Amino acid sequence: MEEKKLQDEEEVTRRSLLRTACIAGAGAAVLISGLKGRANASGGTYPQVRISNVKDVKPGNAVKFDYPLVGRKNILVNLGCSVEGGVGQDSGIVAYSMFCTHLGCGVDIDKDSGMLICECHQSVYDPKQSGKVVEGPAPNSLPMVALEVDKNGDIYAVGVAGLIYGLRNNLLDGEEVR
Ligand code: FES
């Protein structure tokens, strides 16, 4: 009985933390809407590329994809709670560049903490706070991919807010994603 009560308390605490983290993230988010079809400084326009379907991205799941050009790797995650810039039924699906803003090493999701962590010098980015740096030497937030969902639940990448590491322009010098 005592053990059951402890488990219930732990579950409530876990859920409370999750909710708190999501609310905190919503306040710190950047505005990334309005990127679709927008020309950037060089006159290029972001393509609309299908990434997945909301049915296939359950909370805790991740999908990796190239965008806006081949080799520009990104990760889409379902955070399972509402965050600014998120799409899907719970507004919890977000996507970020996988290139660290410090020196361009690979960033990936850490299943235990839910954070995006760089493999080289362990910069930590919070996907609930628009990819904000919360630890490590990275100077800037991860570029955030603008997403849209159509009536069939298909998720599309439609733009990128922020410059991907090492590039002068996110849309130059590369091959289109097909
Ligand atoms: S390259 Fe990511 S922290 Fe240094």
Is the pLDDT at 56 greater than 60, yes or no?
A: yes
Highest mean pLDDT among 11-15, 30-34, 39-43, 142-146: 142-146
pLDDT score for 55:
96
Query: ∠ CA(30), CA(89), CA(56), 5° rounding?
Result: 105
Fold of 1-178: Rieske Iron-sulfur Protein (2.102.10)
The per-residue pLDDT for 12 is 38
In tens, the pLDDT along 61-113 reads 999 999 999 999 999 999 999 998 999 988 999 999 999 999 999 999 999 99
pTM for this one? 0.81
Reply yes or no on whether 108 is catalytic.
no
The atom number, within ligand 1, closest to the CA of 136 reads 3
Half-sphere exposure of 133 (CA within 13 A, CB side): 16
pLDDT at residue 15 greater than cutoff 90: no
DSSP, res 177: P
Per-domain residue ranges of the chain: 1-178
Name the β-bridge partners of 93: 78, 87
Is residue 137 in contact with ligand 1, taking CB distance under 6 Å? yes
Residue 127, classified by CB atoms within 10 Å of its CB into exposed (0-12), middle (13-18) or buried (19+), is buried
Quick check: CB of 108 below 6 Å from ligand 1? Answer: no
